[in-house]
Structure 1
Amino acid sequence: MTRCSPCQCLKGTCESRRLILFVIAVAMFVDCILFSVVAPIAPALLYDTEYGKGNTTITIHDSDFSSVILSNLSIFENSTKALYNDQMVNSTASGGNQTECYEGKDYLNEVNVRVGLLLAIKAILQILINPIVGKLINRTGYDAPLFYGSIIMFISTIMFAFADSYAFLCVARGLQGIGSSFTIVPAMGMLAHLFPDDAERGKVMGLAMSGIATGVLVGPPFGSAMYEFVGKSSPFMVIAALALLYGALQLCILRPMKFSPVAVPATPFRDLLMDPYILVAAVGLCIGNLTFGMLEPTLTIRMMEAMCAPRYQLGLAFLPCMVVYFICLNGFASLAQKIGRYLCILFGMIILGISVICMPLALNIYGLIGPSAALGIGFGLMETSIMPLMAQLVDLRHTSNYGGIYAISDIALCIGYALGPSCGGAIAKAVGFKWLMIILGIINIAFAPLFILVRNPPGKEETKPLLSQEGIQAS
Structure 2
Amino acid sequence: MTIDCSSTGIQGWLQRCRESRKLVLVVVAIALLLDNMLLTTVVPIIPEFLYDIDHPNATLHDALTRTTTPQTIPGTTFPTINPCLAWIRNQTNQTEFSRLEYLLSPAITTTELTPFGSENGTTTTQSPQQIEDMQRHKDLIQETVAVGMMFASKAFVQLLTNPIVGPLTHKIGYSIPMFCGFIIMFLSTLIFAFGRSYSVLFLARALQGIGSSCSSVSGMGMLAERYPDDKERGNAMGFALGGLALGVLIGPPFGGVMYEFVGKTAPFLILSALALGDGLLQLLMLQPSVVRQESDPPSLKALIMDPYILIAAGAITFANTGIAMLEPSLPIWMMDTMGAERWKQGVTFLPASISYLIGTNLFGPLGHRMGRWLAALLGLLIIGVCLMCIPLATRIDHLIIPNAGLGFAIGMVDSSMMPELGYLVDIRHSAVYGSVYAIGDVAFCLGFAIGPAMSGTLVKTIGFEWMLFGIAILNFLYAPLLYCLRAPPTKEEKKSLIVGEKASSVRYVTYQNEEDDE
The answer to whether residue 239 in structure 2 is matched with residue 239 in structure 1 is no
Relative distance call for 1:472 and 1:343 in structure 2 (3 A) is closer
In structure 2, the partner of 1:74 is: none
Q: Distance in 2 between matches of 1:112 and 1:246?
A: 34
Q: Distance in 2 between matches of 1:261 and 1:405?
A: 17
In structure 2, the partner of 1:380 is: 411
TM-superposed deviation, 1:2: 9.8
Contact 1:60–1:90 (8 Å) recurs in 2: no
Q: Which amino acid aligns with 2:27?
A: V
Q: Distance in 2 between matches of 1:336 and 1:353?
A: 20
TM-superposed deviation, 1:436: 0.7
Q: Distance in 1 between matches of 2:251 and 2:371?
A: 32
Pairing partner for 2:364 from 296, 316, 333? 333
Contact 1:142–1:190 (8 Å) recurs in 2: yes
Relative distance call for 1:371 and 1:52 in structure 2 (3 A) is farther
TM-superposed deviation, 1:471: 4.8
Higher helix share: 2
Q: Distance in 2 between matches of 1:181 and 1:295?
A: 22
- Length-normalised TM-score, structure 2: 0.81
Q: How does 1:265-414 map to 2 (within 5 A)?
A: 265-414=296-445
Q: Taking every aligned residue pair, what percent have the same amino acid on both sides?
A: 44
In structure 2, the partner of 1:425 is: 456
In structure 2, the partner of 1:174 is: 206
Q: Distance in 2 between matches of 1:133 and 1:59?
A: 50
Q: Which amino acid aligns with 2:209?
A: G
In structure 2, the partner of 1:40 is: 44
Q: Distance in 1 between matches of 2:154 and 2:47?
A: 16
In structure 2, the partner of 1:83 is: none
Relative distance call for 1:262 and 1:9 in structure 2 (3 A) is farther
Contact 2:17–2:285 (8 Å) recurs in 1: no
In structure 2, the partner of 1:123 is: 155
Contact 2:358–2:408 (8 Å) recurs in 1: no
Q: Distance in 2 between matches of 1:287 and 1:201?
A: 23
In structure 2, the partner of 1:465 is: 496
TM-superposed deviation, 1:6: 8.2
Q: Distance in 1 between matches of 2:294 and 2:15?
A: 14
Q: Distance in 2 between matches of 1:464 and 1:90?
A: 64
Post-superposition CA distance 1:1-25 (Å, at most 9, x none): 9986888877xxx5x1111111011
Contact 1:41–1:227 (8 Å) recurs in 2: yes
TM-superposed deviation, 1:68: 9.4
Post-superposition CA distance 1:241-271 (Å, at most 9, x none): 0110000000111021x21112221111111
Would you identify which runs of 4 or more consecutive aligned residues in structure 1 move more than 6 Å?
1-10
Post-superposition CA distance 1:119-168 (Å, at most 9, x none): 01001110111111112111110000000000000000000000110000
Q: Distance in 1 between matches of 2:359 and 2:488?
A: 27
Q: How many residues align?
A: 439
Q: Which amino acid aligns with 2:247?
A: G
Which secondary structure does the structure 1 equivalent of 2:67 belong to?
Answer: strand
Q: How does 1:183-202 map to 2 (within 5 A)?
A: 183-202=215-234
Q: RMSD of aligned C-alpha atoms?
A: 2.4
Contact 1:102–1:308 (8 Å) recurs in 2: no
Q: Distance in 1 between matches of 2:173 and 2:14?
A: 13
Contact 2:174–2:222 (8 Å) recurs in 1: yes
Q: Which amino acid aligns with 1:160?
A: F
In structure 1, the partner of 2:27 is: 23
Contact 1:6–1:254 (8 Å) recurs in 2: no
Q: Which amino acid aligns with 1:330?
A: N
Which secondary structure does the structure 1 equivalent of 2:42 belong to?
Answer: helix
Post-superposition CA distance 1:333-364 (Å, at most 9, x none): 22212210000000000000100100011112
The answer to whether residue 461 in structure 2 is matched with residue 434 in structure 1 is no
Q: Distance in 2 between matches of 1:468 and 1:303?
A: 59
Q: Which amino acid aligns with 1:33?
A: M
Q: Distance in 1 between matches of 2:191 and 2:280?
A: 21
TM-superposed deviation, 1:414: 1.0
Contact 2:177–2:214 (8 Å) recurs in 1: yes
Contact 2:308–2:484 (8 Å) recurs in 1: yes
Give structure 1 stretches of 5+ with no counterpart. Answer: 70-88, 92-100
Pairing partner for 2:191 from 159, 166, 171? 159
Which secondary structure does the structure 2 equivalent of 1:139 belong to?
Answer: helix
Q: Which amino acid aligns with 2:257?
A: A
Contact 1:59–1:68 (8 Å) recurs in 2: no
Relative distance call for 1:330 and 1:68 in structure 2 (3 A) is farther
Q: Which amino acid aligns with 2:495?
A: K
Q: Distance in 2 between matches of 1:377 and 1:330?
A: 10
TM-superposed deviation, 1:52: 3.4
Q: Which amino acid aligns with 1:225?
A: V
Contact 1:143–1:186 (8 Å) recurs in 2: yes
TM-superposed deviation, 1:469: 4.4
Bigger Rg, structure 1 or 2: 2
